[in-house]
Structure 1
Amino acid sequence: MSQWEIADFTDVVRDLSSGNVKIPQRDYLLDGPIPIVDQGRGLIGGYTDASTALCRAELPVVIFGDHTRVLKLVDFPFAIGADGVKVLKPCGALDERFFYHYLRYVDIPSAGYDRHFKYLKRLEVPIPPLTEQRRIAAILDHADALRTKRREALAHLDELTQSIFIDMFGDPASNSRDWPVRRLADVLARPLQNGAYFPKDDYSDDGIEMVHMGDVFYGIVERGKLRRVNCSTDEIEKYGLGAEDILIARRSLNHSGAAKPCLVPICDDPLLFESSLIRATPDPRKVTVGYLFSLLSNERFRGAHIHPIVTGATISGVSQTNLAALRVPVPPLVEQFRMKVTIEAVDRIRLRHAAALAELDTLFASLQSRAFRGEL
Structure 2
Amino acid sequence: MELVLSSEILDVRDGTHDSPKYIEKGYPLVTSKNLKQGVICFEDVKYVSEEDYNKINNRSKVDEGDILYSMIGSIGNYAIVTESPNYAIKNVALFKFKDENLYNKYFYYVLNSPFLENQIKSQQKGGTQKFVTLKILRNLKIPLPPLDTQKKIAAILDEADRLRQLNKQLIETYDALTQSLFLEMFGDPVSNPMGWERKSMKSLMKIVRGGSPRPIKNFLGGKNPWIKIGDATKGDDIYIYSTKEHIIDEGLKKTRLLPEGSLIFANCGVSLGFARIIKFQGCIHDGWLAFLEFDENVIDKVFLLKALNSVTKYFRDTAPDGTQPNLNTKIMGDYQIILPPIDIQRKFVDSLKIIEQQKDQTQTALQKSEALFNSLLQKAFKGAL
CA deviation profile, 1:332-365 (whole Å, cap 9, x unmatched): 3333222111211111111111111111122222
User: Which of the residues 269, 272, 278 maps onto 2:288?
Assistant: 278
2:67 paired with 1:61 = yes
1:39 alignment partner in structure 2: 33
User: Which of the residues 344, 350, 356 maps onto 2:365?
Assistant: 356
The 5 A counterparts of 1:65-80 are 66-69=72-75, 71-75=77-81, 76=83, 77=85, 79=87
- Structure 2 unaligned regions, length at least 5: none
What amino acid is aligned across from residue 293 of structure 1 in structure 2?
Answer: L
Alpha carbons 1:62, 1:72 under 8 Å: kept: yes
CA deviation profile, 1:215-248 (whole Å, cap 9, x unmatched): 5455357768x7x445213546835674432342
Q: How far apart are 1:207 and its partner, in Å?
A: 7.7
2:180 paired with 1:150 = no
Q: How far apart are 1:163 and its partner, in Å?
A: 1.9
CA, structure 1 residues 131+45, in 2 after alignment: closer, same or farther (shift >3 Å)? farther
CA, structure 1 residues 361+160, in 2 after alignment: closer, same or farther (shift >3 Å)? same
Q: How far apart are 1:70 and its partner, in Å?
A: 5.4
Q: How far apart are 1:175 and its partner, in Å?
A: 0.9
Alpha carbons 1:287, 1:330 under 8 Å: kept: yes
Aligned residues: 353
CA, structure 1 residues 245+302, in 2 after alignment: closer, same or farther (shift >3 Å)? closer
CA deviation profile, 1:12-68 (whole Å, cap 9, x unmatched): 5623212787676xx678xx9858564157533335675724862233222316112
- Structure 1 unaligned regions, length at least 5: 253-257
CA RMSD of aligned residues (A): 4.2
What amino acid is aligned across from residue 238 of structure 1 in structure 2?
Answer: R
2:268 alignment partner in structure 1: 250
CA, structure 1 residues 10+152, in 2 after alignment: closer, same or farther (shift >3 Å)? same
CA, structure 1 residues 342+19, in 2 after alignment: closer, same or farther (shift >3 Å)? closer
CA deviation profile, 1:314-347 (whole Å, cap 9, x unmatched): x743333545544432333333222111211111
CA, structure 1 residues 36+116, in 2 after alignment: closer, same or farther (shift >3 Å)? closer
CA distance in 2, matches of 1:292, 1:345: 18
The 5 A counterparts of 1:251-266 are 251-252=269-270, 258-264=271-277, 266=279
2:344 alignment partner in structure 1: 335
Alignment TM-score, normalising by the size of structure 2: 0.72
Alpha carbons 2:315, 2:327 under 8 Å: kept: no
Q: Secondary structure at the match of 1:246?
A: strand
CA deviation profile, 1:93-151 (whole Å, cap 9, x unmatched): 55443333333332548988512325993874323134433332332232122111111
User: Which of the residues 285, 301, 304 maps onto 1:292?
Assistant: 304
1:238 alignment partner in structure 2: 256
2:2 alignment partner in structure 1: 4
2:187 alignment partner in structure 1: 170
What amino acid is aligned across from residue 367 of structure 2 in structure 1?
Answer: A
Q: Secondary structure at the match of 1:62?
A: strand
The 5 A counterparts of 1:36-185 are 36=30, 38-39=32-33, 42=36, 43-46=41-44, 52=50, 53=53, 56-59=61-64, 60-64=66-70, 66-69=72-75, 71-75=77-81, 76=83, 77=85, 79=87, 85-89=91-95, 91-93=97-99, 94-105=102-113, 106-107=117-118, 108=121, 113-117=128-132, 121=136, 124-129=140-145, 130-185=147-202
CA distance in 1, matches of 2:376, 2:21: 37
Q: How far apart are 1:73 and its partner, in Å?
A: 0.7
Q: Secondary structure at the match of 1:46?
A: coil
CA distance in 1, matches of 2:4, 2:277: 44
Alpha carbons 2:31, 2:70 under 8 Å: kept: no
Q: Identity, % of aligned pairs? A: 16
Alpha carbons 2:205, 2:291 under 8 Å: kept: yes
CA, structure 1 residues 140+20, in 2 after alignment: closer, same or farther (shift >3 Å)? farther
1:255 alignment partner in structure 2: none
CA, structure 1 residues 210+7, in 2 after alignment: closer, same or farther (shift >3 Å)? farther
CA distance in 2, matches of 1:10, 1:198: 47
2:325 paired with 1:317 = yes
CA distance in 2, matches of 1:208, 1:79: 50
CA distance in 2, matches of 1:363, 1:222: 27
Alignment TM-score, normalising by the size of structure 1: 0.74
Alpha carbons 1:13, 1:89 under 8 Å: kept: yes
What amino acid is aligned across from residue 357 of structure 1 in structure 2?
Answer: L
CA distance in 1, matches of 2:241, 2:34: 23
In our comparison, the structure showing a higher alpha carbon Rg is 2
